[in-house]
């Protein structure tokens, strides 16, 4: 994981944490990435950009550059990658078991 400062935590959209913080309409599509911040919720490529900027360093720069791409084009690329993700990254029969450190960052 690139978040060495542990600034980012994870919660399933159907869990109690997301129910408290994420509006119901955003929780309906379980395949949508949502990044919740005190200043608002970001989805899809806006979430990716904000997550990269939160990581800092070179990741901040990558997020800022992506943010400059017009929203419709960014999301078109997001949907394209989502369609071919198994060809790019492979499909596994089971998920990797998170380490104890990674598990501590998951909320319910």
User: What pLDDT digit, counting tens, does each position of 20-77 carry?
Assistant: 888 888 788 766 788 888 888 888 899 999 999 999 999 999 999 999 999 999 989 9
SS3 44: helix
Are residues 66 and 52 in contact, defined by beta-carbon separation less than 8 angstroms?
A: yes
Q: What is the pLDDT of residue 1?
A: 53
Taking the model in full, what pTM does it have?
0.78
Are residues 51 and 63 in contact, defined by beta-carbon separation less than 8 angstroms?
A: yes
Query: Which residue has better confidence, 66 or 78?
Result: 66
Q: Return d(Cα 42, Cα 50) in angstroms, integer.
A: 8
């Amino acid at each position: 994981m690139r978040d060495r400062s542990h600034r980012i935590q994870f919660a399933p959209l159907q869990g109690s944490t997301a129910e408290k913080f994420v509006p119901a309409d955003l929780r309906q599509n379980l395949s949508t990435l949502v990044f919740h911040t005190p200043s608002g919720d970001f989805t899809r490529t806006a979430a990716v950009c904000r997550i990269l900027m939160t990581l800092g360093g070179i990741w901040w720069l990558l997020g800022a550059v992506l943010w400059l791409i017009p929203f419709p084009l960014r999301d078109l690329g997001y949907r394209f990658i989502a369609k071919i993700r198994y060809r790019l990254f492979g499909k596994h029969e089971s998920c990797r078991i998170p380490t104890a450190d990674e598990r501590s960052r998951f909320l319910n």
